[in-house]
């Protein structure tokens, strides 16, 4: 089995410039070429798309897991327009195209064409702080799916990936498996909360606040962005005593 450093060293040194394409102001790597190149070096590699996340505003987020020689990386991507804004109610073609772009972006996490994403808002500096590692371990060990999901979504992609791969020797396979389960279960719980709170707000029921108790500020912020525009408006009015 190849070590991850070996996979990265192989794929990150491949010149992808002749196989990119422009859409709007952004550059993408051709998924057909990307996958063909991966197969040349790691023919046993596989990928699997997860169930799409559908938000109250009708926007959709796709997820994919890629495994190369026993090493798994995950990536997510909202269905976006040419201005990189999330699209409400995208078509099946939009979702399909986004899945393939998400697949290519996941390959970049292994090194293939990673530098073409340098123009995106990727953070610099440390991958994660000791405080973030502590929260990650706490939510993971307690199998707190909701808070794990919200916490991870509040972090940069770089920090999420580093934490996802932070398990010690002998614990990586089981750790990543549980991470994937917590991610999926947590997203479902979050969407259930959003649906419940939307209904309570629509009926002017103050009980909606109880469904957000116990969450950290950054976790609440992630959940807040999942609500419909109408619910956000009602929350703002409540906070300002209107």
Span 109-123, average pLDDT? 66
If you search the block for the tokens 């750790």, which residue do you land on?
Answer: 175
Torsion from C-alpha of 11, 15, 17, 19, nearest 10 degrees = -70
What mean pLDDT value characterizes the chain?
83
Domains of the chain plus CATH, in order, are 1-122 (3.30.390.80), 126-242 (no CATH)
- Does position 87 have pLDDT exceeding 70, yes or no? yes
Pick the residue with more confidence: 124 or 235? 235
pLDDT digits (tens, 9 = 90+) for 170-209: 787 888 889 889 988 998 898 898 889 888 888 888 888 8
Q: What angle do CA 233, 221, 90 make, to 5 degrees?
A: 70
User: CA–CA separation, 49 vs 63, rounded Å?
Assistant: 6
What is the SS3 assignment for 77?
A: strand
CB 68 within 8 A of CB 42: yes
Q: Is the pLDDT of residue 23 over 80?
A: no
Write down the pLDDT at residue 161.
79
Higher pLDDT, 157 or 22: 157
Closest by CA position to 36, among listed 63, 21, 64, 14: 14
pTM of the model: 0.55
% of the chain surpassing 90 pLDDT? 26
């Amino acid at each position: 089995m190849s070590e991850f450093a070996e996979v990265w060293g192989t794929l990150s040194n491949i010149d992808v410039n002749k196989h990119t394409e422009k859409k709007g102001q952004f550059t993408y790597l051709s998924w057909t070429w990307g996958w063909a190149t991966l197969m040349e070096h790691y023919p046993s590699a596989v990928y699997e798309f997860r169930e799409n996340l559908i938000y109250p505003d009708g926007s959709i987020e796709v997820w994919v897991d890629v495994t190369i020689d026993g090493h798994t990386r995950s990536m997510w991507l909202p269905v976006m327009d040419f201005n990189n804004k999330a699209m409400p109610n995208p078509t099946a073609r939009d979702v399909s195209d986004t899945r393939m772009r998400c697949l290519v972006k996941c390959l970049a996490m292994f090194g293939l064409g990673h530098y073409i994403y340098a123009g995106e808002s990727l953070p610099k500096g440390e991958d994660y702080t000791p405080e973030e590692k502590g929260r990650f371990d706490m939510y993971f060990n307690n199998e707190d799916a909701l808070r794990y999901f919200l916490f991870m979504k509040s972090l940069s992609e770089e920090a999420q990936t580093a934490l996802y791969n932070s398990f010690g020797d002998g614990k990586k396979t089981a750790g990543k498996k549980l991470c994937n389960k917590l991610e999926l279960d947590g997203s479902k719980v979050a969407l259930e909360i959003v649906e419940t709170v939307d209904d309570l707000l629509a009926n002017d029921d103050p009980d909606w606040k109880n469904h957000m108790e116990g969450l950290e500020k950054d976790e609440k912020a992630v959940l807040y962005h999942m609500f419909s525009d109408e619910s956000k408006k009602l929350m703002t009015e409540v906070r300002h005593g209107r």
